[in-house]
Amino acid sequence: MPSNASPLEITPREVKQRLDAGERLRLIDVREPREHQTARIEGAELIPMREVPSALGGLDDPDGAPLIVVCHHGVRSLKVAQWLREQGIVRAQSMAGGIDRWSREVDPTVPRYK
């Protein structure tokens, strides 16, 4: 892992702590629009997994803000974060456990779904 790379996964609590501390994070939600309509994290940008390759050019932040990838349970986001790193976006991270874990551990007002 390059010296400026973060761990591949980050917990929802860590994301919340960093946001609360005022750190600028870019949250990318790679779920489908119907999932996003059901439950979402405030400020997360919806880019369904299948659209990530075509959005690649706009994902690397020139100021180096970490890119936190979110899905339902953390499977899709892990794949996307790994792929983004292979494309050179070394600060891409997957939120472990996805929005479901976010709802359980950080914000219970975010609906859980199957």
Map out the domains of the chain as residue ranges: 9-105
- The superfamily CATH assigns to domain 9-105 is Rhodanese-like domain (3.40.250.10)
Q: Is the separation of the CB atoms in 33 and 52 below 8 Å? A: no
pLDDT (0 to 100) of residue 46? 98
Task: Please report where in the chains the tokens 């456990």 appear, as a residue.
Answer: 97
pLDDT over 70, % of the chain? 96
Q: What is the spatial distance between Cα 33 and Cα 11, in angstroms, rounded to a whole number?
A: 23
**Residue among 28, 52, 70, 71 flagged as catalytic:** 71
pLDDT (tens digit per residue) in 80-99: 999 999 999 999 999 999 99
Q: Is the separation of the CB atoms in 90 and 2 below 8 Å? A: yes
Task: Grade residue 3 by pLDDT with cuts at 50, 70 and 90.
Answer: very low
pLDDT (0 to 100) of residue 47? 98
Q: Is the separation of the CB atoms in 93 and 10 below 8 Å? A: yes
Could you tell me the pTM of the whole model?
0.93
Q: What is the spatial distance between Cα 101 and Cα 39, in angstroms, rounded to a whole number?
A: 12
Neighbours of 90 (CB within 10 A): 18
pLDDT (tens digit per residue) in 48-63: 999 999 999 999 877 8
User: Any catalytic annotation for residue 91?
Assistant: no
